[in-house]
Structure formats: C-alpha cells, structure tokens
Amino acid sequence: MFHTLFLYIHVLSAVVSIGPLFALIPILKRMEKARESEMSGFVQSFQSAITVVKHAGHVLVISGVMLIVISGWTWTTSWVLLTNIVMVGSIVFLARAFKPTIQTFGTAQYNRHEFILKLRRKTWQYIGLLLIMLWLMVVKPSFW
C-alpha cells in the first residue's frame, strides 16, 4: 500500500516538475514580440514556473528516496545511481541556470535578445536533463 502511494506521489511530482517547463516555451515566444512594458509580467510568470518546478522536485526526491527504501532496490543499482548523479547535476544546473539571467532583467546588463536566448537554451537543457532522469526511472536499464 505504501509503495503504491509513494509511487503515485513520485509520478505526480515528476509530471509537475517537468510540465511547467513546456509551458515556458510559448512564454518565451511571446517575450520576443512583447512590448517592454509587458516583459515584467512574462518574467514573473517564468520565475513562478521555475519555483513550481523546484518545489515539485523536492517532493520528487523525497518520494524517490522512500520508494528506494521500501522497494528493495539498492542505492548501487545502476539506474538508481545514474539517476542520482544526473539529479545532482540537475540541481546544480537549476541553481545556476535561470537566476543569474533573470537577475539581469531591468539592469544595465539586460539585453532582451540575449536574455530570451539564454532562457530558451537553459529551459531546453533542463528539460533534457529531466527527460534523461525520467528515462532512467521508467526503463530502469541495467548497466552493471
């Protein structure tokens, strides 16, 4: 019963941690054509989506730990270990990817074209990292 509950929570938090990133793609497209006075709202929406992703990631990690503990998988199983390595990389990436760029908004360093380009590139890179983790968790490949 607990396994099913934690599995449901884990899958739901994976959806919530990946889904908002795809919503950012049309926001970034709208930023390209938005008036400067509208940019602030788009930047706030972007930040909100990243906050949702981050907090869903916390639930994802906790539920994942619980699943490993109660399921019988070991921490040295190849897909578990590789998922954790990619997860640590994604945490570091998330901490460095968006905040420095977003902090330039409204400053002398702000360049609209570069701003949008960086956010788009970082969004797709983060989606890629999360999809690698998703693949590892779903397929559970055995490398050793």
Reported as a single tens digit per residue, the pLDDT across 52-76 is: 999 999 999 999 999 999 998 999 9
Enclosing domain of residue 131: 2-139
Residue 83: inside a domain: yes
Backbone angles phi, psi at 12, to 5 degrees: -60, -45
| Number of domains composing the chain | 1
Q: Give tens-digit pLDDT for 14-51.
A: 999 999 999 999 999 999 999 999 999 999 999 999 99
Please, what is the angle between helix 78-97 and helix 112-139, to 10°?
Answer: 170
Residue 30: inside a domain: yes
Cα distance between residue 26 and residue 30, in whole Å: 6
For residue 144, what pLDDT band results from cuts at 50, 70 and 90?
confident
Q: Give tens-digit pLDDT for 106-136.
A: 999 999 999 999 999 999 999 999 999 999 9
Residue 144: inside a domain: no
